[in-house]
Structure 1
Amino acid sequence: MTPNYTLSGRYRIVRSLGEGGMANVYLAHDLILNRDVAVKLLRLDLRDDPKTIKRFQREALATTELVHPHIVSLYDVGEENGMQYLVMEYVKGMDLKNYIKEHFPLPMPQIVDIMEQILSAVATAHAHNIIHRDLKPQNILIDENGNAKITDFGIAVALSEHTMTQTNTILGSVHYLSPEQARGSMATKQSDIYSLGIILYELLTGSVPFKGETAVSIALKHFQNEMPSVRDFDEEIPQALENVVLQATAKDPRDRYATVEDMANDLLTTLSPTRVGEKRFEPNDLGNDETKIMPSAQITAAIEAKRQADAASAAPESAAPAATTSETAPTTDDDEQPLPKRSWSKKHPFRRKVIIWSAIAVLLLGALGVGLELSRPKQATVPRVSGLTQSAATKLLAKHNLVVGTIKRVKSNAVAKNHVIKSLPTAHQSVQERSRIGLTISSGTKKISFGNYVNENYTTVRQNLVADGFTVKEQFSTSSLATGQIISQDVVASSNVLPSKTTVTFTVSAGSRYVSLKDMTGETRSDILAYARTNRLNIDFKRGYSDEQKKNYSYSQSPDGGSEIRSGSTVTVNMSKGSQPTTVTTPKSFYVKTTVPYQTTSLTQSNDVKVYIQDDTHLISSVYRDLTITRDTRLSLPFQLTGKQVGQYRIVCNGVVVAENLKVTSRDATN
């Protein structure tokens, strides 16, 4: 398709956008509606198949029902000179594959936000009984505003019968292909969920979990190899977030999420403090040898059949005579063919004996090699048992024909009591079957003396403390200290604390420079936090209704965009809760009273107390009140709740949570 060609007298081709295994895509201009569109043409090798064309048209028309902000809109379906084409929304940006390459590592809140957009789109498709079947980052576009849009609905479904016979398609999609699809079984909604789990894995690690030189080797790994741990790649990834990857990519579809909505709901809370310490997800059936062996033969046979079919179709005239010659040669000349053989054997008896004895020797050597191979001890791969209880680890090792060896117990602030810290040999190593695997098991947490980190570099301190199990937060302040140095800390130096239960907030120097504040209206929470971190600003999030801005996007800020403010300043950003409900429920306002106990310490006579509140007007991620106490202190906490909403509060004294209620209602009000 050349530039300036006008398709159906309406869509003028501008340039090529790319070529795929199924179709070629062009940027075009709609001359009637005066807008840019994307035109997708089926490849030449698929245009002459009437069944494919009919299915393509039917499924493409069905795709017009998928109206969703995160699905590329389908505008038109047509045919010209035998060319089947789709006219779709043009998304200016890049696909998710390239977006990951350019922006990795992505902040975890942004990863969750992108996946929530994708999941909501797939949920809409599944509600219309449309299965994508080819979900991968290359089929997900990211526009200039960071919004995700899924493409190739319709084509993926319409051409599903070609997915295992198009060599290029296999090579392009096998990294995201579910085990049941690789076997040739019918794809289901759980197949899409598996692909979504692989996409989430790539967002977290920057690469796909399984690699290989051939499509078959990669497909085999999908249903034979354990999913690599994203926490092995980055220990800061919460276990709850890894569990979403593990459940979505379970080998057995029955162990995966029942629906995409279930996966979205689980993903939404993975960064919540309430899920800290969550156990690692394990499927009901940790392994089934039979389901691992059968697919390899099926896949190899399928691709071999494809290779033979391609060869036959590529050279039908030359292949047939060759086969005929080889089959009929022994019976072509009954009188002449045997004579040379008898003549040769009489003339060269020594050569004939050499050939016979050589063949016997080769057979004996082959038999010896087979015998040696069979006599070798069988090998087993050590499974990943870290995070499991001793009992669960023992059962998992037994399924891999391994036994528990020496058990060592040590204190650990990162692993729960009576859970495995590590194994020796470590996970994924190859050992002989029946080998003994040593386990190091946590005997519980231990208090450690908290250091004095004032004047040190925040980034270095944070990395070390997070590795020890602490939760670390930061707030900025103007200071004469160098940018990035710690001004103060809210956990008293030399106090004994449990890392897993301690949150420390550092006040970090923002230097003395001024920032020209940008307009953050219309941005997500993760984008705002990324901007604030880069410019060393504090953000105070508040929530309210907005008829002009959709839910979870900002609709106003103070100071306004364009203001000159000093680094370390606090910017208040109002996040939309959506449009004001038509039936307005009067919010309930009440107070909850609680007492903060004074903590005796030999280092200081005062306690540093921070109060966090979650209700209609406050977010628990922001400090509601910061005070210093020298005795037991009674506090009145104001709440405003609408309808059936529940509030939360958390009180932190010297870095340790001393009071918390995550389900505050008007019944908790005190007079």
Structure 2
Amino acid sequence: MTEKVNGWTVPGFTHVRELGNGAAGRVVLAVDDLTQTKVAIRYLDRRLRADENFLAGFRDTARKLSQLEDPNVVDFYDFVESSEGAAVVMERIDGVALRRMLAAQGPTGPLAALALLGGLLAGLAAAHERGVVHGAVRPSNVLVDGEGNGRLADFGLTPAEGSAQAAPVYAAPELWDGASPGVASDLYAATVIFFECLTGRPPFSARGQSGFAKAHREAPIPVEEVPGPLRDLIAAGMAKEPEKRPQSAADLLVTVEEAAIAAYGLSWEAQGRGRLTELAAQAATLPEPKPSRATTPKGNPITPRSGASRGRLVVAIVAMLVIVGGVVGAASLYEKKDDAPEPTPANSGQPSPAGPSGQNSALAATLADKVGKAVARTPNGSFTFQRTGGGAAKARGTFRLAQGTVPSYSMTVSGGTKPLRKSVRAVLVGNSAYVQAGKKWQSSSASGGRGYAALAQQVRGGSAADNVTALLKASTAFNQAGQIYRGFAEAATLEQYGVPMVAQMASAAHVKRVAFSLQLDGAGLPVQLRIRIGNGPRAPMLHTTYAGWGRAGAITAPR
């Protein structure tokens, strides 16, 4: 029998039981009558339904969320409105709310905390790329599933007005001054959660709203309470002034990965996710803890989170895709020494070996074909790129692929040396490079150019979508974990597959193969690619994110 919620239920679903209740409204477990798939439905509180400004903004947010596919974000399936009510239909995930896990068991330890933070930042980066700010990042909006993945839920369900009062423990200083939630405040809240995972409590405790406002604005950040190698992360993410925090979730994520590798080694993420898995399983067996006044002030929703799009849901069922996401942004990259044993499934999630006829090798070949066809159908998009270790570079912009020729790029780019630190615009068309100098453009050969022209060419070589298929084809050890694919690729073979830049970097580092981590969307298009060359904290790393496939404009030579 369908249970009524405030006199109205979403048509086409049968309710199973209530999962929780919070400031945004009730959450129920339901079954899709068509597919018999379990989903979670949040029936919006009447105060939200009566707020026309909130509804107008959330309709736009819902449209963007329906197009967002990221393994660190609970899938948003539909926003249903009627004269009787409004509800969000979301993916249903078996997991434990981070709030419950922390309340029941205290600190997670540094590796688990880093793995969780990496996942949150990856999910936020994907959302911010589409213009969606979460606005209420807090432990009750994070689910930890059975594989140790952190999943963000309930994007945009807190009105901008009063967002600080809704979750004062996690509210950035600028929110107390009336600013609307933004990228910087999301990063602040994620860092507060990171601190709480490390220490078992939030960085500030206070009495009443005014006390929290004063603490966030004025109290020193208690970095001395966290492990030494992680103090700079806390200081950066919780900077009092928003402009002093990292400019994006992707930027902070790179810092997280570098700090984690330097402090805990290349397998930090696998170990951290393993610990999160244990903690989630243990918390699920314990009674639901009572809310803590220090961490869940009045008005802070305390509910299990789940989430799911009816159209996407049917496609997912037809395709038989049952995937519980991964921590992409924090995906670790492995490179073993030449005399180390081959990685096996027992090695904390490292890629397992597979010969040319192995199942993993077959999966890599299948993926390479899928990616190649997907990119050929959608040959343009936007990207961000960062190279660390052995020649720093940063770039963001758009690209366009054309069969039989090199990709065209339009970007802003900067380097790590003093002459190249200023961001400038650059365009690559064929073998020509164009660099903006004031109001004029200077042209040169891309392959033989110097300065910014050479830097832009390096970005093209390091971020090219063809690198994905080449790495898959050249992989000798390959493993899938959710929507994350990890492996090793032989450097010599990469040259044959048209990735000379990575092969040359490997040769310069005296390594025979490189490690890579890859995320694809449902269509087979690349979302993120990380390539690590060699061992040690200063080993070169190439990190590319892809977005906006099919939406980039034409790229032509400047006049």
The TM-score, its normalising length taken from structure 2, stands at: 0.51
> Retained in 2: the 8 A contact 1:71–1:149?
yes
> What's the offset of the Cα at 1:640?
2.1
| Match for residue 257 of structure 1 among 217, 238, 246 | 246
> Retained in 2: the 8 A contact 1:95–1:138?
yes
Q: Say which one has the larger Rg.
A: 1
Query: 1:58 maps to which residue?
Result: 60
Query: 1:227 maps to which residue?
Result: 221
Query: 2:168 maps to which residue?
Result: 174
- Tell me: CA distance 1:525–1:48, structure 2 relative to 1, closer, same or farther (3 Å): closer
> Retained in 2: the 8 A contact 1:63–1:154?
no
**Matched residues in 1 for 2:11 and 2:82: separation?**
10
Deviations for 1:511-566, whole angstroms, at most 9, x for unmatched residues?
xxxxxxxxxxxx9344558999xxxxxxxxxxxxxxxx986599xx99999xxxxx
> Retained in 2: the 8 A contact 1:16–1:25?
yes
State the aligned residue count: 323
Specify the SS of the correspondent of 2:148.
Answer: coil
Query: 1:88 maps to which residue?
Result: 90
- Tell me: CA distance 1:553–1:15, structure 2 relative to 1, closer, same or farther (3 Å): farther
**Matched residues in 2 for 1:559 and 1:265: separation?**
25
Q: Which amino acid aligns with 2:470?
A: T
The TM-score, its normalising length taken from structure 1, stands at: 0.43
Q: Which amino acid aligns with 1:228?
A: P
Deviations for 1:598-628, whole angstroms, at most 9, x for unmatched residues?
xxxxxxxxxxxxxxxxx979xxxxxxxxxxx
> What's the offset of the Cα at 1:22?
2.1
> What's the offset of the Cα at 1:18?
1.4
**Matched residues in 1 for 2:178 and 2:195: separation?**
24
| Match for residue 243 of structure 1 among 232, 245, 267 | 232
- Tell me: CA distance 1:201–1:582, structure 2 relative to 1, closer, same or farther (3 Å): same
- Tell me: CA distance 1:108–1:91, structure 2 relative to 1, closer, same or farther (3 Å): same
- Tell me: CA distance 1:529–1:224, structure 2 relative to 1, closer, same or farther (3 Å): closer
Describe how 1:527-542 pairs up with structure 2 within 5 A: none
- Tell me: CA distance 1:55–1:261, structure 2 relative to 1, closer, same or farther (3 Å): closer
Describe how 1:263-278 pairs up with structure 2 within 5 A: 263-273=252-262
1:77 matched to 2:71? The reply is no
**Matched residues in 2 for 1:143 and 1:530: separation?**
9
Specify the SS of the correspondent of 1:269.
Answer: helix
Over the matched positions of the two proteins, sequence identity in percent amounts to 23
Gaps of 5+ in 2: 279-324, 335-340, 353-359, 366-467, 477-487, 491-508, 516-530, 541-559
- Tell me: CA distance 1:142–1:662, structure 2 relative to 1, closer, same or farther (3 Å): closer
Describe how 1:434-445 pairs up with structure 2 within 5 A: none
| Match for residue 576 of structure 1 among 340, 351, 354 | 351
| Match for residue 186 of structure 1 among 168, 180, 189 | 180
Deviations for 1:356-380, whole angstroms, at most 9, x for unmatched residues?
xxxxxxxxxxxxxxxxxxxxxxxxx
> What's the offset of the Cα at 1:192?
1.0
- Tell me: CA distance 1:36–1:572, structure 2 relative to 1, closer, same or farther (3 Å): closer
> Retained in 1: the 8 A contact 2:149–2:273?
no
Query: 1:7 maps to which residue?
Result: 9
Query: 2:199 maps to which residue?
Result: 205
Specify the SS of the correspondent of 1:98.
Answer: helix
> What's the offset of the Cα at 1:4?
6.6
**Matched residues in 2 for 1:57 and 1:37: separation?**
20
- Tell me: CA distance 1:80–1:14, structure 2 relative to 1, closer, same or farther (3 Å): farther
Deviations for 1:574-604, whole angstroms, at most 9, x for unmatched residues?
613994753258799xxxxxxxxxxxxxxxx
| Match for residue 17 of structure 1 among 2, 16, 19 | 19
Query: 1:641 maps to which residue?
Result: 513
Describe how 1:466-485 pairs up with structure 2 within 5 A: none
**Matched residues in 2 for 1:145 and 1:108: separation?**
18
The higher-RCO structure (CA 8 Å, 6+ apart) is 2
Specify the SS of the correspondent of 2:77.
Answer: strand
| Match for residue 196 of structure 1 among 174, 185, 190 | 190
> What's the offset of the Cα at 1:152?
0.9
**Matched residues in 2 for 1:61 and 1:133: separation?**
17
**Matched residues in 2 for 1:161 and 1:122: separation?**
21
> What's the offset of the Cα at 1:228?
1.3
Specify the SS of the correspondent of 1:155.
Answer: coil
- Tell me: CA distance 1:145–1:74, structure 2 relative to 1, closer, same or farther (3 Å): same
Specify the SS of the correspondent of 1:161.
Answer: coil
> Retained in 1: the 8 A contact 2:114–2:272?
no
Query: 1:495 maps to which residue?
Result: none
- Tell me: CA distance 1:149–1:216, structure 2 relative to 1, closer, same or farther (3 Å): same
- Tell me: CA distance 1:526–1:188, structure 2 relative to 1, closer, same or farther (3 Å): closer
**Matched residues in 2 for 1:9 and 1:663: separation?**
55
**Matched residues in 1 for 2:514 and 2:177: separation?**
52
Specify the SS of the correspondent of 2:239.
Answer: coil
> Retained in 2: the 8 A contact 1:553–1:576?
no
> Retained in 2: the 8 A contact 1:175–1:219?
no
**Matched residues in 2 for 1:663 and 1:188: separation?**
33
| Match for residue 524 of structure 1 among 270, 276, 297 | 270
